[in-house]
Structure 1
């Protein structure tokens, strides 16, 4: 007997999220493509757009097959291709590298909760596409001498076991040196905040709504503060600071994106930060780092909550798929 299983909740969530993210990123990339002046980046930008198009078309195909409503997502109405440049071409490359890494990780993470073969095949292909895009972006950044590397540490002289619990908390008034994994997370989260700070700083300049501009200004301040926290940890540990990521922003005030798209993108970056901090807490054995991450997570969670309220007030936040409200159905019969 042929078995045709319907989509389960985890599959619907993965597909819906992929549609929202890729229609949003596609709009960003279209603007970058329209203002791009770097011939070496043309193929990479087009590849990124093609990836987004593939994801969107496949989600539509799977949803239509199961009679699921297609999300609204983001359309050409959310992008103004006549608007001038806001960000540099180098920032475009770093954005593609960053979002390709996020896309690869998200697609791979969802595989664990997918059962239907066509959905698993789709996310497997998606992960491969974005992994290839990530590697191509890395190669181009390396070629341009613009790849920002994590801090270096001396080679280990020998492998050995720990002999003291001071490894967890350090001596009084002093902490032990950072481990390689702790350094890796600090570097990654510094980059996340740098990307976010540059984006929301530009958003605050071009947004139409005064409320949105104010929200973006607050985001810029939070991201800058978090970058400073991470850099100070490196300084105290005597670790050479990595070069700053490019954050050049033009003087343009003509919005290339709708306020709705900019708000959604900011909240998406916020979610990535929360996930990154959570992973760092699990991997950071030094107790002071756990305290720092916990404090910073609380701040960005509050920022994200305020952003959701702002989007709801403006009717910009699309309702995600959810279970049936049985109580509401019962009340309708009263």
Structure 2
């Protein structure tokens, strides 16, 4: 007997999130394409738009087939293609690299909670597409000498077991050297904050709503503070600092994106920041690092919560699919 399973909750969540993220990214990359002056970047920008468009259209088809409501997401109303340049062409490549990396990781991580063959095949193809985009963007950044590398460490001469619990906290008043895993997380979280700080700095000067401008200014300060914490850890450990992720921001006050899109992008970066800090907490054995991450993640969570409240107040936050409210049905007026 032929079996036609309905979408399960994890599949609906994965498809809905993919639609929201890619409809937003498509708008952002459209603006980048419109102001781009770097001929080397044209193919990568076009591929990024093609990938995002593919995801959005595939989710639409699946939802229509299953009679699920199509998300509102982000449309041409959320991007002003006549707006002047806000970010540099180099930042465009760095954004696409970051977008492709997170898209690949998200699609791969989702596979274990997907049951239906068509949904699994869709996310497997999505992961493959974004992985290729990531590699192509890395190659171009390396060619331009603009790929930001994490710090280097001396080769390990001998593999051995730990013999003292002091490895966890270090000697009194002194911490043991950072492990390669701890360095990797510090570098990744510094990168996330740098991209976020560049984004929200541009958002703060182009947002139309005073509340959104203030929110973005606050985000710039938080990201800069977190970057400083990570850099100070590296300096204290005598680790060479990686190159700065700073990118030029123009003086334009002509908004290329709607306030709604800017808020959603900021909250998305916030979520990635929380996930990055959580992963770092789980793999950082030095107790002082755990303390830093715990304190910083609390600040991000509060900032994100305030952003959600602002989006609800402005009626910009789209409701995710949710289970039936049985109590509301029982209490409905007859």
Return the alpha-carbon distance in structure 2 between the equivalents of residues 288 and 77 of structure 1. Answer: 46
Q: Post-superposition shift, 1:172?
A: 0.6
8 Å CA contact 1:85, 1:252 repeated in 2: yes
Q: How many Å apart are 1:140 and its aligned residue? A: 0.2
Q: Distance in 1 between matches of 2:119 and 2:100?
A: 20
Tell me if the contact between 1:36 and 1:89 (Cα under 8 Å) persists in the aligned partners: yes
Contact (CA 8 Å) 2:178, 2:237: kept in 1 or not?
Answer: yes
2:290: which partner in 1? 290
Q: Is the 8 A contact 1:194 1:245 kept in 2?
A: yes
Matched with 1:88 is 88
The aligned counterpart of 1:249 is 249
Question: Which residue in the other structure is 2:99 paired with?
Answer: 99
In structure 2, the gaps of 5 or more residues are none
CA contact (8 A) 1:90 1:246 kept: no
| Alignment map for 1:1-334 (pairs within 5 Å) | 1-333=1-333
Q: Encode CA deviations 1:234-288: one digit per residue, 9 max, x unaligned.
A: 0000000011013210000000000000000000000000000000000101110
Q: Distance in 2 between matches of 1:168 and 1:314?
A: 46
User: After TM superposition, which residue ranges in structure 1, 4 or more long, deviate above 3 angstroms?
Assistant: none
CA distance in 2, matches of 1:118, 1:201: 41
d(CA) in 2 for partners of 1:312, 1:176: 46
SS for the counterpart of 2:331 is helix
1:103 deviates by: 0.4
Give the whole-Å Cα distance in 2 for the aligned partners of 1:246 and 1:190. 11
Confirm or deny: 8 A CA contact 1:22 1:55 kept in the other structure. Answer: yes
Equivalent residue of 2:82, what SS? coil
What's the TM-score, normalizing by structure 2?
0.99
Is the contact between residue 204 and residue 217 of structure 1 (CA under 8 Å) also seen in structure 2? yes
Distance in 1 (alpha carbons) for counterparts of 2:164 and 2:172 = 14
Q: Is the 8 A contact 2:90 2:247 kept in 1?
A: no
Report the Cα offset of residue 161 of structure 1. 0.9
Deviation at 1:305, TM superposition (A): 0.2
Deviations 1:81-103 (A, max 9, x none): 00000000000000000110000
- In 1, distance between residues paired with 2:300 and 2:328? 33
Q: Deviations over 1:96-152 (max 9, x none)?
A: 001100000110111010000000000000001000000001000000000010000
Encode CA deviations 1:183-223: one digit per residue, 9 max, x unaligned. 00000000000000000000000000000000000000000
Q: Tell me, which stretches of 5 or more residues in structure 1 are unaligned?
A: none
Q: Number of paired residues? A: 334
